[in-house]
Amino acid sequence: MKFLLHACCAPCSVQCVQAFKEEGLTPDLFWYNPNIHPYTEYRSRRDTLSRFAMEEGLNLFEEDEYGLRLFLAGLYCGGDGASNHPWESPARCVFCYKLRLGKAAAYAAANGYDAFSTTLLISPYQNHDLIKENGEKFAAQYRLEFIYRDFRPRFREGQRLAREREYYMQKYCGCVFSEEERYAKN
């Protein structure tokens, strides 16, 4: 099976890739994360993922688009239609999942993949129901399989291994709003 794994960052990828390899699936990685802000954060995550892919001998395909303007415009103009405040979670998360999973599915379909998934599934901070719903929707649209796995039990080990490998470790989900929420708590 030709399999594409949308990757949000190296720390989240470590255990997802390991788990898939344990199942006999070696994924190609796909970077598309226009939600990440600021640019220095975007670049740090992208570059660390590139290092991880090289160390693991994995193919990495990048849609390298720093997309703050795209993300904000889509959020305010498109969003999910369910909120007067599109920057609040879960409205912004719905839009973000659609944006990233839609691009991953389109890339997978255009490049002969049979299935796709995402490293977002390792985070205990993500909405798995929304990720799964959107992954399955795009899988049906592009005639692919969306491989859902609940990797959350592997989260702490993945974080430990990422620190051991001295990977860049982010402090928030990625978007400007999650950055604000993270640092406003202190």
Calculate Rg over the CA atoms of the chain: 15
Q: Is 173 annotated as a binding residue?
A: no
DSSP 108-148: HHHTT-SEEEEGGGG-TTS-HHHHHHHHHHHHHHHT-EE--
Question: What's the Cα-to-Cα distance from 182 to each of 29, 55, 172, 173, rounded to whole Å?
Answer: 27, 30, 6, 9
* 154 φ/ψ angles, rounded to the nearest 5 degrees: -95, 0
> 31 is written with which tokens?
């970077």
**Segment 23-61, tens digit of pLDDT:** 999 999 999 999 988 999 999 999 999 999 999 999 999
Strand pairing class (3-6; 28-31): parallel
If one counts every other C-beta atom within 10 angstroms of the C-beta of residue 45, the result is 24
Q: Which residue type occupies 111? A: N
> 109 is written with which tokens?
């379909």
Could you tell me the sign of the dihedral formed by the alpha carbons of 140, 89, 11, 37, in that order?
A: positive
Q: What confidence tier does 168 reach under pLDDT thresholds 50, 70, 90?
A: very high
Residue 81: what pLDDT? 46
Instruction: Please compute the mean of the pLDDT values over residues 93-114 and round it to a whole number.
Output: 95
Is residue 174 within 8 A of residue 35, CB to CB? The reply is: yes
Domains in the chain, number:
1
Domain of 73?
3-184
Q: For residue 28, give the CATH number of its domain.
A: 3.40.50.620
Instruction: Tell me the pTM.
Output: 0.91
Q: Is 9 annotated as a binding residue?
A: yes
**Segment 66-83, tens digit of pLDDT:** 888 888 888 777 554 445
